[in-house]
Structure 1
Amino acid sequence: MPDIVIPVVDFAHFEDGSSPDAIEIGKQLVQACQEVGFAYFRNTGIPQAQVESMFEWSRKLFSLPIETKMLAPHPKEGWKHRGYSGVGREQVSQMVFDPSELAAIRKQTPDFKESFDVGRDNCPRVSNVWLPEEVLPGFRDAASAFYNTCRQFELEKLLPALSLGLGLPGGGEFLGNYHQDAENQLRLLHYPAMPTEVFASGERGRIAAHTDFGTGTILFQDDVGGLEVESPRGSGNFVSAPPIPGTVVFNIGDFLMRWSNDTLKSTLHRVRAPPNDGTGMIKERFSIPYFMSGDRSLLVDCLPGCWDEDRPKKYEPVTPGAYIDMRLDANY
């Protein structure tokens, strides 16, 4: 089979989701999610200046001494995804069916990255873990504002587009009704520079092949690159998803694939080190994913239109909270 081409979905004319253009954009998005599980988004309404500013805050944050960053430590519980995690703290786990039960397979080598996780400020169950304001003045306000910007795009355009494209009841409001009180996660990621020989064998990358496990992910990349997507699903062959100026990357998560009865694909992806540029060092990389999940306590069954007598439901109803916690705990 030929390599996949990751499509570009343009939200320029989505407006409030009530126009024929919005329905067509939704159909394009769903087609991308069915065939690839990934798409580039253009004209999201997320200001590019705010994106660039958030990357600058990320550089400032990760350039702090380790003892300073540890003033905002990630809690010991894996599901409390907030605050700073140092290099080697997290191991991305891939969940597989074996054959009827879900088993977590850990990598032998921890991911060579560090991260800082932020959620909504008014979440009673999972509080944010911030650095003291005097350590990095303005960071808290900037990170919270960027989280809110991503959240606005999710609720006003992304989830409505998916709902319209799937033809769900209630027009563009269906999926949004399941994401009103979500515990989403904005993650600042830093992959430190390393000597070329660390990656020379090709056996080690920056993050091993995995799928995300919520509703979906919006990803902002710097210009270093390294993201790769499996093509076609299950083949073991990966194609590059390079940064495209003015776009963000979107991918489906495992929970939405389950929710859609496997109508939409949660595709394996990984981050590899860029080619040797002759300096003997692999450049550092920054990225900012925004992970979306449904409201914790709502019992979720198969989406309407994604099952019938000829295509019965594959999965039992489940709450997003139980599913996400299981997956987060597998990473720590």
Structure 2
Amino acid sequence: MSEAAALERVPIVDIAPFLGGSEAERRAVAAIVDRTNRDIGFLVITGHGFDLDLLSRWFEVSRRFFEGPGSIKRAVMPAAPTIHEGYHGQGLSGLAAKEGEEAPPDLREYFMIGQVDRDDPLFKTEAARAFHHDNLWPSEPEAFRELGTAYYRAISKLGADLMRLFALALELPETWFDDKIDHHFSIVSSIYYPAQKTPPLPGQLRAGAHTDYGSLTILAPTDAPGGLQVRTLAGDWVDVPYVPGAFVINIGDMMQRWTNDRWLSNMHRVVNPPSTVASTSPRQSVAFFLHPNHDAVIECIPTCVEPGEAPRHAPILAGAYMMEKEAAIATATARK
């Protein structure tokens, strides 16, 4: 598929008019977002106002961590597979496996950061503790903790802005999601795809085909061979356009359920670089998985069901939904 066709599938949307424009301009952006989330569930956003210098510095310090001593990385591995916070080494997981597919482990390693501001009593309840663990910070590089914390806070703010845009796109009051994400259990994942010194196994990718679980994902990619692809409704895989300074936004399973399947949580993957450059082409990305409050009720949004029709999904707490998903992965993995 041509680049122009891919752009039609995954549009580039300037959200600056939503953040600071007239009511008509704001609603025009929301209409584009609604249409895109119905059709493919992916868009590329510009005009977001995010501090790109912070992003650049976080990429740099993350790269130095991943390319640093193995002993430093192993010291911050989680104590249990159910804990996300910390370092996850290459070959330990495969995203396609959670979709029930047979595939070798993914060719990536990553470092996850959980909620960095947990002073509110809502984070300290017994129910909340299942979704909030202490962050593990490596002893080096210097400034890793400082920049990781700053990035988490800044990207959380952008996530809140996008949820307000989503509310407008769904014909809701703009603040409709605010009290559902005010003690969220979101994750920042800094991801490193090493250069491939040996050929991948048959069927092995940098990240196998999968959907995300939460409400939305904010991805900052780098411009390197072997990138992100999304599946169209026709079943074709198309490249997600790389735009300097832009973020890739996609819908997660929880948002699809919340919208009564109006919006699409779509399959995506990260492909390998061409063999001619694979041995010299590492790649990075930083993903923010916006998971609502663990006690937020995920039930059909009122504007997403026609009068007289029943919602397609039963209500469920966001935390319980996430635990069900992760339990299903663990079961599928144990069977392989």
Specify the TM-score bucket, using the shorter chain as the normaliser: 0.7 to 0.9
Aligned with 2:283 (options 278, 281, 285): 285
2:316 is paired with a residue whose SS is: coil
- 1:119 shift after superposition: 1.5
* Structure 2 residue 298 is the aligned partner of structure 1 residue 300: yes
Q: Which residue of 1 aligns with 2:183?
A: 181
Q: Which residue of 2 aligns with 1:144?
A: 149
% identical equivalent positions:
27
Q: Which residue of 2 aligns with 1:267?
A: 266
- 1:18 shift after superposition: 7.4
1:153 is paired with a residue whose SS is: helix
Aligned with 2:78 (options 74, 98, 115): 74
Q: 2: distance between equivalents of 1:108 and 1:67?
A: 29
Q: Which residue of 2 aligns with 1:6?
A: 10
Q: 2: distance between equivalents of 1:324 and 1:240?
A: 28
2:301 is paired with a residue whose SS is: coil
Q: Which residue of 2 aligns with 1:154?
A: 159
Gaps of 5+ in 2: none
Alignment deviations for residues 154-202 of structure 1 (CA, whole Å, 9 cap, x no partner): 11x201111011101xx21002221111100000001111136326x6x
2:302 is paired with a residue whose SS is: coil
Of Structure 1 and Structure 2, the greater helix share is in 2
CA RMSD in angstroms, aligned pairs only = 2.3
1:245 is paired with a residue whose SS is: coil
1:68 is paired with a residue whose SS is: helix
Q: Which residue of 1 aligns with 2:87?
A: 84
- 1:241 shift after superposition: 0.9
Q: Which residue of 1 aligns with 2:106?
A: 111
1:229 is paired with a residue whose SS is: strand
Alignment deviations for residues 129-154 of structure 1 (CA, whole Å, 9 cap, x no partner): 32354x32211010010011111111
Q: Which residue of 2 aligns with 1:64?
A: 68
Q: Which residue of 1 aligns with 2:250?
A: 251
Please say if residues 10 and 241 of structure 2, whose CA atoms lie closer than 8 Å, have aligned partners that are also in contact: no
1:141 is paired with a residue whose SS is: helix
Q: Which residue of 2 aligns with 1:317?
A: 315
Please say if residues 96 and 210 of structure 2, whose CA atoms lie closer than 8 Å, have aligned partners that are also in contact: yes
- 1:106 shift after superposition: 5.2
Alignment deviations for residues 50-105 of structure 1 (CA, whole Å, 9 cap, x no partner): 11111101101101211211111123142x2100011122222566xxxxxxxx62
Amino acid at match of 2:295: S
Q: 1: distance between equivalents of 2:150 and 2:143?
A: 11
Between 9-18 and 241-250, report the one with greater CA deviation. Answer: 9-18
1:173 is paired with a residue whose SS is: coil
Q: 1: distance between equivalents of 2:318 and 2:22?
A: 28
Gaps of 5+ in 1: 96-103
Between 4-13 and 244-253, report the one with greater CA deviation. Answer: 4-13
2:9 is paired with a residue whose SS is: coil
Amino acid at match of 2:256: M
Q: Which residue of 2 aligns with 1:221?
A: 221
